[in-house]
Chain A
């Protein structure tokens, strides 16, 4: 297990380096001058621009910029935004909100996704299966921002069940609707995945053998069908936890949640390259670490992987 973990971590290093380089290149090496953008429509004061360039290392060759960024990032020094705020402060303020939102979405999609998926898989072909199937198909087809507006209009505006927007310091109730919207598509995928897994596992040989032992239907389903079906579902959930953080952008924008997604979107629009790169690096690290955890979890769930 220790060896496996070590190998996986070593494999992660080139991916982390590669992705940060990619993001850094996208933000800083592509045409378009962030300093010029700062001045907006005003004429560019070359002296001030040069000073800013020096401060943000923009006058150095690209690869040096990147290496300096990496060096500083290792000490958690992500520098300042062009407007002079510490990047780490900005992230520090937004991050807890997004973690809360992502965890709520995660619990929502995991609980309802698995429940509906299992019902659907066990009652394959019955009316409740058809209803759940259509429901999940609709959730997948309707883009998140449309789901968001629909939820906002019906749950918020029309029926006054939940607050329409979350605001800057949201509580549990404020985040309920954004979290549901954020988790809705993944929930639909979990439904479909659980259903497919159950209906293919139910026909496997060892399930028949279990029945031949004289086990009753409930035990067979629990110990042999569900236990095995949940392996890919748990894997999907784990990977999705990492993706939810990065995917919160739409939901946070619609519901005005001041989290990481909102911050990213705003900083992209404002051309705050440093902030964008820092956030994306962080998100990517979370994503990669989540994937690593999923692999560990997978090994724990499936003994065949354990010593591979």
Chain B
């Protein structure tokens, strides 16, 4: 098998070369305002070989990003390396001066940062921000001039080494090149469809500023043109590109369509995915040997995420770039990287080949992580089913089929439509377009969709925080649009929300006690003593100690705040809870904990949930039914098992494909 063959060859080369990046016993401290040292990273070791993808996996605060930034010499604020060594290509870099670091960054180490929204300077054009990277590393137009100069000195007959691989196609010569290439193909007897196909291939492949002389010659030779003729053409027409071509070429390599025009635009004219592609172009502009990708896609929609990572993988493979991939998603890490490093509270707890770590986690923390990761959980169910086993054993939530079939609907959404007026536009924007479904008592219905799908707008209409343009929402048989005064208050009492942002949904000025007590107070339930007792009970329900009553939201973690929000929602004994991305902002383990809590509460109290999420993997852990939304429309509506096992629509299949870890063998056979 050739696969094994190349793998072996690669490994031998890596072994011979030694590690590209070697981090040993790294220690990073931050100094607090009071002058205390906080150990952000302790005794951590990992290494990256040339051409390898290595993933560091961990939750927020695990030290994964800090380790990566320490390698780049870009620790924020008071952070500094206090111990251990960082070797790049065998050379110690941890103690380098910033000036010397400047020489390594960009050319030897590149960065693709996490948040595409904040990592591009809003006042400069995309192209000029790519150009900065080239200029900073003397890879601007000077290079081509220099080689021309060198060539002149050496004389026509001499061939300069590496020149063919560093001379790019220019946009000026492209039309002529294509014309002569066509002629060359005709000359060797190609006609008709065959000729058109080859030319179409050339047109697509020969991107100015990206395609090199060598590759043009190679393409021609592969198409059947004689070696000498091919090289003659390549040398005649591939004579170096302008700076603008090169920038457009880099952007187009990163997967940005219409790159030459896009390069002249500003960041705010780009979508998140496009910005991330621009950042990838910047990170790879100077062909670094090591690319540090710090959660490069976690701010993007899942389908975009997959496309971008696929593209990045293809690109780094073709350039032979090694990647240090930082992520919180174990499934994603194992899917993309050959080697994974698991970090926990500043320390490496486990590392090894991806599949091995995943299949046989040894450290209790890794075991926990493997068990909790939603992407792996849904993968596990699929593989159990594929092997004909009973999937119920590995499911946190099993579909409540009897309730779905026989239960009465508690919330019914009928032909719901909501339009918004866009600023300075005449036509209305349909955020939600004719959506109908119903939630059966005691079950969970999940609405899945990417940003802009209208899923949260539906949630707000169900909560009567937003009035529909047309269509109705019925609660317990009554149209909620007519609710006023006492009826509305009664409805509010029975339908409660838990929102996405655990930092925003609790008033920072309110103690936890006051926050949970607020609904009781609004509805005038009980006296001071009975309310205190109720708050205690609710805290117990969400497994938080009584002592948090006197605390304030800023002292609690995201997961704890979300549990407080759930306790508040439970205070009035509601029938329905609307969870709008309630677990999206949480770390995997905490997310798992909150999902379990929601499942337990449902089993105990017979609650019904409307669960809004962008993450199909989470759905499997909580929902009985799934509604898939795209661009405001309902795409698919079925039971969870149906959606996962027999998705009907292409979009649903795309979403399922985008769950990381799809191709992983979890070793259950």
Residue contact B119 to A303, C-beta cutoff 8 Å: no
Cβ–Cβ contact B133 & A214, under 8 A? yes
A-contact 0/1 string along B114-146, CB 8 Å cutoff: 010011111110000000110011000000000
Provide the bound-state CA to CA distance between A213 and B266, in Å.
Answer: 19
- Is the interface on chain A under 10, 10 to 19, 20 to 34, or 35 or more residues? 20 to 34
* A228: Cβ under 8 A from any B Cβ: yes
B103 and A214 contact, CB distance less than 8 A: yes
Specify which of B76, B113, B123, B136 lies most central, judged by the most chain A CB atoms within 10 Å of its CB.
Answer: B123
Q: Which of A208, A213, A302 contacts B122 (CB 8 A)?
A: A302
Whether A206 contacts B132 by the Cβ 8 Å rule is no
B393 to chain A, nearest CB (A): 45
Chain B proximity of A305: nearest CB distance (Å): 10
CA of A213 to CA of B286, assembled, Å? 9
> Could you tell me if A209 and B279 are in contact, using CB atoms closer than 8 angstroms?
yes
Instruction: Give the residue of A204, A213, A304 whose beta carbon is less than 8 angstroms from that of B132.
Output: A213
Q: Encode A222-234 as 1/0 by CB contact (under 8 A) with B.
A: 0110011001000
* A219 proximal to B (CB < 8 A): yes
User: Which chain A residue has the least Cβ–Cβ distance from B124?
Assistant: A223
Q: A208-B76, A227-B123 are in contact. Are A219 and B132 (CB under 8 A)?
A: yes
| Segment 259-278 of B: residues with Cβ below 8 Å from A | 266, 268
State whether A303 and B268 are in contact (beta carbons under 8 Å apart), knowing that A211-B105, A214-B133 are contacts in the complex.
yes
A212–B76 touching, CB < 8 Å: no
Question: How near does chain A come to B107, taking the closest CB pair, in angstroms?
Answer: 6
Task: Choose one: A208, A213, A224, A303; the contact of B136 (CB below 8 Å).
Answer: A213
CA A224 – CA B111 in complex, angstroms? Answer: 17
**Which residues does chain B contribute within 8 Å of A212, judged by CB atoms?**
72, 74, 105-106, 109-111, 113, 283
Contact A215 B121 (CB under 8 A): no
Closest Cβ neighbor of A303 among chain B residues: B266
Q: How many angstroms between the C-alpha atoms of A217 and B105 in the bound complex?
A: 12
Taking a contact as CB atoms closer than 8 A, the residue among B77, B102, B124 that contacts A214 in the complex is: B102
In the complex, what's the smallest C-beta–C-beta distance from B290 to chain A, in angstroms?
Answer: 12
In chain B, positions 267-326 with a C-beta closer than 8 Å to chain A are: 268, 279, 282-283, 285-286
Within 8 A of A (CB), among B82-96: none
In the complex, how many residues of chain B place their beta carbon closer than 8 angstroms to a beta carbon of chain A? 35
Q: How far is the CB of A2 from chain B (nearest CB, A)?
A: 14
A301 within 8 A of B: yes
B402 within 8 Å of A by Cβ?
no
Min distance, Cβ B637 to any Cβ of chain A, angstroms: 39
Q: Chain A's nearest CB lies how many Å from the CB of B104?
A: 8
Supposing A203-B77, A205-B113 touch, asked if A214 and B137 sit within 8 A by C-beta, the answer is: yes
**B119 x A206 contact (CB < 8 A):** yes
Q: Is A46 an interface residue when CB atoms closer than 8 A count as contact?
A: no
Residue of B whose beta carbon sits closest to that of A224:
B121
Contacts A205-B118, A209-B282, A219-B136 given; indicate if A301 touches B123 (C-beta within 8 A).
Answer: yes
| Interface contact B72-A214, CB-CB below 8 Å | no
| Residue A41 CB within 8 A of the other chain | no
Complex Cα–Cα for A204 and B120 (A) = 10
Q: Beyond A219-B132, A302-B122, is A209–B102 a contact (Cβ under 8 Å)?
A: no
Q: What residues of chain A lie closer than 8 Å to B529, measured between beta carbons?
A: none
B425 at the interface (CB under 8 A from A): no
Chain A residues whose C-beta falls within 8 Å of the C-beta of B137 in the assembled complex = 213-214
Q: Mark A193-214 against chain B: 1 for CB-CB distance below 8 A, else 0.
A: 0000000000111101111111
Cβ–Cβ contact B107 & A210, under 8 A: no
Cβ contacts under 8 Å, B102 to chain A: 211, 214-217
| B72, B118, B136 pick with most chain A CB within 10 angstroms | B136
Q: Are the CB atoms of B72 and A302 closer together than 8 Å?
A: no
Q: Does B99 contact A (CB under 8 A)?
A: yes
Chain B residue numbers with a CB within 8 Å of A214 are 102-107, 133, 136-137, 286
B98 sits at the interface (CB 8 A): yes
**A219 and B120 alpha carbons, distance in the complex (Å):** 16
Across the interface, which residues of B come within 8 angstroms of A219, CB to CB?
A: 132, 136
Residues of B within 8 A of A205 (CB): 113, 115, 118-119
Q: Tell whether, in the assembled complex, residue B111 and residue A209 are in contact, meaning their CB atoms are under 8 Å apart.
A: yes
Residue of A nearest to B114 (CB): A205
Query: How many angstroms between the C-alpha atoms of A291 and B98 in the bound complex?
Result: 42
* CB proximity of A230 to chain B, nearest CB, Å: 10
Q: Which residue of A lies closest to B120 (CB)?
A: A206
Q: Which residues of the other chain, A, contact B72 by a CB distance below 8 angstroms?
A: 212
Given A212-B74, A223-B132, answer yes or no on A217-B268 (Cβ-Cβ < 8 Å): no
A215 contact set on B, CB distance < 8 A: 102, 106, 132-133, 136
Min distance, Cβ A21 to any Cβ of chain B, angstroms: 31
Indicate which residue in B123, B132, B282 contacts A228 across the interface (CB closer than 8 Å): B123
**A304 lies within 8 A of B106 (CB):** no
Establish whether residues B74 and A206, one from each chain, have CB atoms under 8 Å apart when the complex forms.
Answer: no
Task: Enumerate chain A residues within 8 angstroms of B76, measured Cβ to Cβ.
Answer: 203, 208
Q: Which residue of B lies closest to A207 (CB)?
A: B121
A28 to B516, CA, bound (A): 59
Q: Which of B98, B99, B282 contacts A213 (CB 8 A)?
A: B282
Q: B120 to A209, Cβ gap below 8 A?
A: yes
Report the nearest B residue to A228, measured CB to CB. Answer: B123
For the complex formed, measure the closest distance between the CB of B307 and the CB atoms of chain A, giving whole angstroms: 22
Q: Is the CB of A302 within 8 A of B77?
A: no
In the bound complex, how far is the Cα of B98 from the Cα of A242, in angstroms?
Answer: 44
Nearest CB in chain A: distance from B128 CB, A = 9
The 0/1 profile, CB within 8 Å of B marked 1, for residues 286-308 of chain A is 00000000000000011110000
Nearest-neighbour CB distance to chain A for B357, whole angstroms, equals 29
Given contacts A214-B133, A215-B136, A304-B268, whether A208 and B113 have CB atoms under 8 Å apart is: yes
Q: How far is the CB of A225 from chain B (nearest CB, A)?
A: 10
With A205-B118, A212-B74, A214-B102 known, 17 other A-B pairs at CB within 8 A are A205-B115, A206-B120, A211-B74, A212-B109, A213-B105, A213-B282, A214-B107, A214-B136, A215-B102, A215-B136, A216-B102, A223-B132, A227-B121, A227-B123, A303-B123, A303-B266, A303-B268
A-B contact pairs, 13 of them (CB 8 A): A210-B121, A212-B106, A212-B110, A212-B113, A213-B285, A214-B286, A215-B136, A217-B98, A219-B136, A223-B121, A224-B121, A228-B123, A301-B123
User: Contact residues of A with B, CB < 8 Å?
Assistant: 203-206, 208-217, 219, 223-224, 227-228, 231, 301-304
